[in-house]
Chain A
Amino acid sequence: MNEFITNFYEILDETEKHEIHQNTDYKNLDEWDSMTSLMLIAMVDEKYGKQIKGEDIKECLTLQNLYDRIQSK
């Protein structure tokens, strides 16, 4: 999970590191937009070899929820 938090942090440009943790409501980050979601899909594909879709991102509230969803794929 810690590694996932670091990987997620690395796709961001403007957010402070302390804002990113397992309970982060990532879609409500100031810099979150449709481009960030593409970066996230690319990161999950590259680092975890898993395919996530728009609805996975929409349905998961926190980074922990998203990580669990990826693990279950």
Chain B
Amino acid sequence: MTQGILNISNVQISGSVSCVPKTKIYNLESTLFNSPAEASKFVEMTGVEEKRHLDEGVLVSDLCYEAAELLIKKLDWKKDDIGILIMVTQTPDYLIPNTAIILQDRLGLSKNTACFDIPLGCSGFVYGASVISSMLTSQGFKKGLLLVGDSSSLLASAEDKTSAPLFGDAGCATAFEFHKGKNLNFKLWTDGSGFKSIIIPDGGYRNKFSEDSLRILEDSDGSKRTKVNPKMNGTDVFSFGITQVPREIKLFLENINKEVLDIDYFLFHQANKFMLEMIRKKLKLESSQVPYSIIKYGNTSSASIPLTLSLVGSDARNKKIAMCGFGVGLSIGCGYFEIGDEFINELIEYEG
């Protein structure tokens, strides 16, 4: 047995709905850059031409709520059959209680539903999928919903040249159910020594929120942020991404006896296009095996994997999928699953 590898029997992913806000932000028009050339260079490297931002007063839980309602309807599920609701987010409605708990009532789910949050970022969809699948395989629950997403536009400083043009908002709902003969595999990895690579320094209990937390700090590149905004060391995250991520994916595929050519689609966390292209080439993947959502939606944190899947549309049916989420932590989650012929796969805009 290899530590960190999960082989889950009798669970399938039945569908996924992604929900994005209507408001589009175009990076080439951004006043954050010093010149049009600087903006073009950013777009060329990261791939992010445009992304979506939440309107005032809307939270990522609202996007997840609309996605979940549509998914339940499309799958023709009875709400009482849903026994687990997990919300993966780093931007909850409140610090206490968990957002999944609020959504149990809002979605009208049974009181016999297990609800909790998993506060992970880029690797969060894979971690959430591994937890919900592990609970379903025990047969104590029939069906589960995994909600993922962050309102990164509310979190990042608008004057942070690394984060502000990169991140977009999205919320997704993915359906899991007990199903004989369907299997999923996961590999989970952590390197906590990199915890400062992406960090909000203040507001937790190590550095409690204070007046000083709101002081505006300026970087050498002119970026401005406070200590309650996330600070990303883009260079270190990039270095980690192009070395550890291909290594973990190779080990994972070896462990589950799959070759790169056996996989129809690799769904990667949409970190940055330049980084993903490096990873793609290292793994010797064809462009057609690697769909991107980063071009039109930016880096959408934990929502990036299901959002990328949604762009494949009905072509995802009967396909073999590998996925890898990686980033803040540092944390990596790899997964493998097969999609059935009735899979629901949709992308909607938030109506409110």
Contact = CB atoms under 8 A, between A and B. Distances in A.
A38 B243 contact: no
Given A35-B41, A42-B242, A53 B236 contact: yes
A7 interface: no
A42 to B, nearest CB: 6
A51 B246 CA distance: 13
Contacts, number: 42
Nearest to A31: B41
A38 B221 contact: no
A34 interface: yes
A53 B42 CA distance: 20
Interface string B84-103: 00000000000000000000
B300 to A, nearest CB: 20
A7 to B, nearest CB: 16
Contacts of B275: 38
B234 A38 contact: yes
Interface in A30-47: 33-35, 37-38, 41-42, 45-46
B95 to A, nearest CB: 31
A45 B277 CA distance: 14
Contacts of A60: none
B221 A41 contact: no
Pick from A33, A37, A54, A57 the residue with the most CB of B within 10 Å.
A54
Contacts of B238: 38, 41-42
Contact of B239 (A33, A34, A52): A52
Pick from A34, A35, A42, A52 the residue with the most CB of B within 10 Å.
A34
B162 A34 contact: yes
A45 B351 CA distance: 45
A42 B235 contact: no
Pick from B238, B242, B278 the residue with the most CB of A within 10 Å.
B238
A33 B233 contact: no
A53 B239 contact: yes
Interface of B: 38, 41-42, 45, 161-162, 221, 233-236, 238-239, 242-243, 274-275, 278
Sorted from nearest, which 9 A-B pairs have the closest CB atoms? A54-B235, A51-B243, A54-B236, A38-B238, A41-B239, A35-B45, A53-B239, A37-B235, A53-B236
9 contacts: A34-B235, A35-B42, A37-B235, A38-B45, A38-B274, A42-B278, A46-B278, A51-B243, A52-B239
Given A35-B42, A54-B235, 7 more contacts: A34-B162, A38-B274, A41-B235, A42-B274, A45-B243, A51-B239, A51-B243
